[in-house]
Amino acid sequence: MGTNFRQDQKRKGNFRKNDGRRPQSQGRRPSKPVAPKKVIIVPHERFPGVFVSKGKEDALVTRNMNVGFSVYNEKRISVTENDQKIEYRSWNPFRSKLAAGILSGLDNIYIQPGTKVLYLGAASGTSVSHVSDMIGPKGTVYAVEFSQRSGRDLINLAKKRTNIVPIIDDARHPYKYRMLVPMVDCIFSDVAQPDQARIVALNAQYYLKEDGGVVMSIKANCVDSTLPPETVFANEVDRLRKEGIKPKEQVTLEPFEKDHAILNVTEEMKLLEFTVDDCYFSSDESTSTSKYAIDCNESYSWTL
């Protein structure tokens, strides 16, 4: 009985030899690595500087300005164009309100290669890094963030991306960074504060060009958690109109963000009146042209 069992196992190839190794099965060859499927990158039809990766699943991508490095462990895609290797970064709409707005159907974000962008609520720089890719080396993104912890990440990001200017300050007081920010083509706001409309209006009065635009992300729970999101969005639109800002379009960000909306707005030019408390003027009479310097205790009262 035992002899027949051993002979059967030898014939089947399942019997271990004296050296303890199992004999290799006949007819099998080692598997070869699967060649990666070809990915095609095409420009986005509405937004210059944004691209679409067409493969098994389409995805938003931006051309990586800092080749070889990721910002938040996003996927990087290398393609060859005109005998030149170019790297793109996947843009996750679940981690970026701006990407979610693009996929939700926004018609205009006012951002393209070479533009100057004021980004309010930059956080650690996830979306800012993609704006950096979009505007390229000829553009600049002025990234304002109040949190010191997120600000450190933002500063480290700016060390690798020369078109990012980190500003660790409160967006409620735009005059504090007036020496750093010029007139900009676009303001993107993601500050998630109850007075966000007021914050956007102040920054627009300071820095937005006459033909510029504003893209504003609204988180309903941060504005008023007691009201339905639709009511909150409508109230914010009314506040913007009172501040002299005209909403042009509104889209919700589901399924990427719950109870979020994003607005595309433009500023209606309006005279800005203000009073300055405890300020003095001094003139330099040593030259034929008087030069005036203003020194204030940062107590401002604004009327829009």
* Domains of the chain and any CATH numbers: 40-90 (3.30.200), 97-269 (3.40.50.150), 274-303 (no CATH)
Q: Give the pLDDT band of residue 82 (cuts 50, 70, 90).
A: confident
Q: Across residues 229-238, what is the average pLDDT?
A: 87
Specify the range with the lowest mean pLDDT, choosing from 84-98, 192-206, 277-291.
277-291
Query: Residues 102, 125: contact at Cβ < 8 Å?
Result: no
Task: Check residue 124 and report its DSSP letter.
Answer: T
Nearest to 68 by CA among 53, 37, 89, 52: 89
Q: Give the pLDDT band of residue 192 (cuts 50, 70, 90).
A: confident
Q: How far is CA 221 from CA 38, 193, 282, in A?
A: 43, 10, 48
- Mean residue pLDDT across the chain: 80
Where do we find the tokens 């379009």?
249
Q: Identify the sign of the CA torsion 208, 152, 147, 179.
A: negative
Tell me how far apart the alpha carbons of residues 256 and 254 are, in angstroms, rounded to a whole number: 5
Q: Give the pLDDT band of residue 286 (cuts 50, 70, 90).
A: very low
Query: Residues 236, 223: contact at Cβ < 8 Å?
Result: yes
30 Cβ neighbours under 8 A, 6+ residues apart: none
Nearest to 134 by CA among 215, 197, 44, 3: 44
- Give one DSSP letter per residue of 138-198, joined into a string: T-EEEEEE--HHHHHHHHHHHHH-TTEEEEES-TT-GGGGTTT---EEEEEE----TTHHH
The predicted structure's pLDDT at residue 236 = 86
Q: Across residues 214-220, what is the average pLDDT?
A: 90
Nearest to 161 by CA among 139, 193, 192: 139
Q: In the chain, pLDDT over 70 holds for what percent of residues?
A: 75
Biggest distance spanned by C-alpha atoms of the chain = 121
pLDDT at 165 exceeding the cut of 80: yes
Q: Two tokens at 294?
A: 């203003």
Residue 104, sorted as left (phi over 0), alpha (psi -120 to 50) or beta, turns out to be: alpha
Query: Residues 264, 247: contact at Cβ < 8 Å?
Result: yes
Provide the whole-model pTM: 0.75
Q: Two tokens at 189?
A: 């706001």
